[in-house]
Amino acid sequence: MCCGDLLGHLKRQGENFGYVEQVTAIIQIADGMAYMESKKFIHCNLRAGNILVGQNATYKIADFGLARFIEEEEYCSKGTKIPVRYSHKSDVWSFGILLLEITTKGKRPTAGMGNAQVKQHVIDGNFPEKPNECDDVLYDIMTNCWSKTAEERPTFSILMDLLSFGLHDEPTFENEIPGTQNCTGLGPA
């Protein structure tokens, strides 16, 4: 892929990576993850550094070294100091962080925090703050991805519907995703 990984691309492009480019990348990545989810694969390492950028605004999910085919609802790593449970819903959590990486043009969401602080921050149910350059619809989608319980997080199929419906050619700042009020765990109550 000619433009390298998405993280480097975001940093090189900076403000030239505008809203339309962000939406294009986000929808392609969500579509790829929806496909993986439908085939019962979990990625386990979804982040901007693992997305390749090609010509004509083509984005491809890469680095499948940790990916797993799962027949159960989750996969538990073995042989590590602390067993980690992965599922499609942990990929959704990571997708929310990836959206944050995209909207902040590659800034580290936990800058200035050590690993222990990040872990406690997540356990306490805290979300990263809404970046100034992030519209309300996209931030609502992010926070749904970060729901504390996995059951409350959307599937990638639902995310595709939300992204296709909620994102437009220009950012919105209305604090609500239209049509999500009746979705369990999605949108405003």
| Domain definitions of the chain by residue range | 6-166
Which whole-number Å values give the CA distances from 126 to 50, 75, 114, 122, in the listed order? 25, 25, 15, 6
Q: Are 102 and 26 in contact (CB under 8 A)?
A: yes
Predicted local confidence at residue 29, as pLDDT = 97
Q: Which CATH number fits domain 6-166: 3.40.50.150, 1.10.510.10, 1.10.760.10, 1.10.10.10?
A: 1.10.510.10
Predicted local confidence at residue 110, as pLDDT = 78
Q: Which of 164, 168, 13, 14 is nearest to 180 (CA)?
A: 164
Kindly give the confidence (pLDDT) of every residue in the chain, 189 residues in length, as a single tens digit, with 9 standing for 90 and above. 688 999 999 999 998 999 889 999 999 999 999 999 999 888 989 999 999 999 999 999 998 877 777 776 655 656 655 446 778 899 999 999 999 999 999 988 777 888 888 878 878 878 788 888 888 889 999 999 999 888 999 999 999 998 887 776 566 554 444 433 333 333 333
Predicted local confidence at residue 77, as pLDDT = 59
Long-range Cβ contact pairs of 137-140 (< 8 A, separation 24 or more): 137/166, 137/167, 137/171, 137/172, 137/174, 137/176, 137/177, 138/26, 138/99, 138/103, 138/166, 138/167, 138/171, 140/166, 140/175, 140/176, 140/177, 140/180, 140/187, 140/188
Decide: helix, strand or coil at residue 35. Answer: helix
Predicted local confidence at residue 95, as pLDDT = 96
